[in-house]
């Protein structure tokens, strides 16, 4: 197992978290909360919002499934990975919109994959997403 495999996992978590795995239903949940940070413990399968408001996102199971599917093709022994955390920061106030119909998100992501005492970290910043609200 090379350093590249773990770096790839960390990068892939960010790509998935604010790209391919982020569902419209999750964006809808985020529009109802204040701007902030969502923290996802990928291995435990749970998430929390920086405001302390309880929340549930389909993204959590999507990330967990994707993460676990990557061990075999990357030749990674699952028991070596002791942690996987993803923090998604979001801001919806940069562009004023009619929030009843359309919300503009600026997303940033930091991911950390822990293998023993080594942490592999990656980040993506300034990803912009337009979300058309349900019923709009």
> What is the arithmetic mean of pLDDT over 102-129?
95
Residue percentage of the chain with pLDDT more than 70: 96
Burial track 35-61 (b if 16+ CB lie within 10 A, e otherwise): ebebebbbbeeebebeeeeebebebbe
Total domains, the chain: 1
Q: How many CB atoms lie within 10 A of CB 15?
A: 17
Residue 136 confidence (pLDDT): 52
Q: Does pTM surpass 0.85?
A: yes
Please indicate whether residue 75 or residue 17 has the higher confidence score (pLDDT): 17
C-alpha separations of 9 from 13, 58, 78, 79, 97 in Å: 6, 20, 12, 15, 35
Residue 3 confidence (pLDDT): 63
Average pLDDT, the chain: 92
Dump pLDDT digits (tens) for 59-106: 999 999 999 999 888 888 889 999 999 999 999 998 888 989 999 999
Residue 2 confidence (pLDDT): 59
Dump pLDDT digits (tens) for 32-50: 999 999 999 999 999 999 9
**Structural domain for 93, as ranges:** 3-132
- 70 φ, ψ (degrees, to nearest 5): -90, -15
Partners of residue 83 on adjacent β-strands: 114
């Amino acid at each position: 197992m090379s350093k590249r495999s773990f770096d790839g996992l960390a990068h892939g978590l960010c790509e998935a978290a604010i790209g391919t795995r982020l569902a419209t239903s999750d964006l809808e949940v985020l529009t109802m909360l204040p701007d902030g940070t969502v923290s996802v413990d990928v291995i435990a399968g749970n998430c929390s919002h920086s405001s302390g408001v309880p929340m549930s996102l389909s993204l959590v199971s999507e990330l967990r499934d994707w993460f676990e599917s990557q061990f075999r093709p990357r030749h990674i022994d699952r028991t070596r990975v002791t942690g996987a955390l993803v923090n998604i920061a979001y801001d919806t106030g940069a562009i004023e919109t009619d929030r009843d119909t359309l919300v503009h998100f600026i997303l940033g992501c930091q991911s950390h994959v822990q293998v023993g005492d080594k942490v592999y970290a990656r980040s993506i910043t300034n990803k912009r997403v337009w979300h058309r609200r349900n019923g709009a």
